[in-house]
Structure 1
Amino acid sequence: MKQQLKNRTQKYAADCWHLCTRFPMSREFNAFCKQLIRCSSSVGANYRAACRAKSDADFINKLKIVEEETDESMYFLELLLQVSDKEHEEIKRLHREANELLSIVVASIKTMRAKNRKS
């Protein structure tokens, strides 16, 4: 499961990058695309860091960063959907993928917290 999620988050970042290459080079689009590339790649990077966590608390803290970065990337996808008249299907697909990743991460955080309460 961990390797599958590592691969999935990496693909998500690459897909966001590819999406951004399809927008015009302008100050306006560049601002949103740079942010989307940063936060979408941070999703996978921080998930990898969580997999190397030194404790359950460290794992949860790193997953919280993944949660924040995933939500932020969804925000920039939503903005691109509003301001662009192209790539709507791909933006929506990436937004759904981000939402699924977010659900997985939030469920993992809840599971880990519940496990720690029982201990």
Structure 2
Amino acid sequence: MSENKFDLSDRLEDFAATIILLYDKKPLSYAGDYLAKQLIRSSCSSALNYGEVLGAGTDKDKINKLRICLKELRECHRNLNIQTKAKLFSNENLTPLKDENEQLIRIMVTRIKNIKQT
């Protein structure tokens, strides 16, 4: 993950890249393949949509785009939980991803609240 823990763009990109690297080798089951592809899509979507946040013109537009990022991160959260419960990957591999995912969700929620308060 990124050394500069304060650059949200980098953290989102690093989160997506880490997932891509983890799933570089095709999972051996239908479920593993399905969940891996969906996790890659949702993690990349959160990073790509955050780029849209940075270019948003109004606070309302920023909030809407941040909500999309949050939705995708929450999807990642559910996906990682399912993979953990199904034992598709070891906890050693998934725990750091789950931790970063939870931190990113909290950051997005805080950003949305802060914009609403201004």
Do they superpose with TM above 0.5? yes
State the superposition RMSD in angstroms: 1.7
- Report the equivalent of 1:20: 23
Distance 1:22 1:81, change over 3 A: farther
Out of 20-29 and 60-69, give the one that drifted further: 20-29
Q: Which has the higher helix share?
A: 1
Distance 1:22 1:78, change over 3 A: farther
Segments of structure 2 that go 5 or more residues without pairing to the other structure are none
Q: List 4+ stretches of structure 1 deviating above 6 A.
A: none
Find out whether 1:95 has 2:98 as its counterpart: yes
* Identical-pair percentage: 31
User: What code does the residue aligned with 1:34 have?
Assistant: K
Out of 82-91 and 32-41, give the one that drifted further: 82-91
TM-score, length basis structure 1: 0.88
Q: Is the contact between residue 83 and residue 89 of structure 2 (CA under 8 Å) also seen in structure 1?
A: no
2:74 to 62, 71, 76: 71
Q: Is the contact between residue 9 and residue 50 of structure 2 (CA under 8 Å) also seen in structure 1?
A: yes
Matched length? 114
Q: C-alpha deviations, 1:72-113, integer Å up to 9, x for none?
A: 001111111111254312211101101101111100100000
TM-score, length basis structure 2: 0.89
